[in-house]
Structure 1
Amino acid sequence: MALSLERIDTIATLANQLFSAGNRIDDVARAVRAANPDLKTVTTAHASVMAEDPFREENGFDLHLVDGNNHCWLITDKPELATGLVIAQRDEDE
């Protein structure tokens, strides 16, 4: 299942709203999962541990796309291969 750019925009908007309202990253991930139950992977990380460049940078967090089509999932920059995402929270000074 591919993620369209419009859908990525919708997910980013939801995450932005939740972070702006003071929600913690785990709560943001739960809300994104609930709004997108067909995604295979919605997980969190700290941006400092992500080795790959983010697909999209937002205010305070990055979105990394996940390709889970094979046995192991990989970070991808191709929405057409994406089956999920990582929400990577940045520290305030990043």
Structure 2
Amino acid sequence: MSLSAQQLATIQDVLQDAAQVNVLATLRSALPGLVCSRCDQEDMRGESPYWRGHSYAVFLVDTDAHCWRVVDGPDEASGVVVARLS
């Protein structure tokens, strides 16, 4: 599976809207079927985000195996992890 340019643009649009109270629910509603998870910024230390906005960072992940792994590009990704920046 891979993420499309449209999916990535939707993710960025949702996360750039600072008024969003529950961005995960909004993402899941806007992109049904996409695996979306949230974590603390500290949980992703040592990893480079695919995209960083004002309030959030997005990490692309391959969710096909039991253990998820952070990947570099959308061609390898089947989901996203969103971390709120402090």
- Please give the TM-score of this superposition, normalised by the length of structure 2: 0.87
Deviations 1:21-61 (A, max 9, x none): 152xxx1101101111111x211112122031111111111
What pairs with 1:10-89 in structure 2 (closer than 5 Å)?
10-17=10-17, 20-21=18-19, 23=21, 27-39=22-34, 41-51=35-45, 52-89=47-84
**Aligned-partner SS, 1:82:** coil
Structure 2 gaps of 5+ residues are none
Percent identity, aligned pairs only, is 31
Superposed CA RMSD in Å reads 1.4
Higher helix share: 1
- Please give the TM-score of this superposition, normalised by the length of structure 1: 0.80
Equivalenced residue count is 85
Instruction: For 2:26, give the aligned amino acid.
Output: A
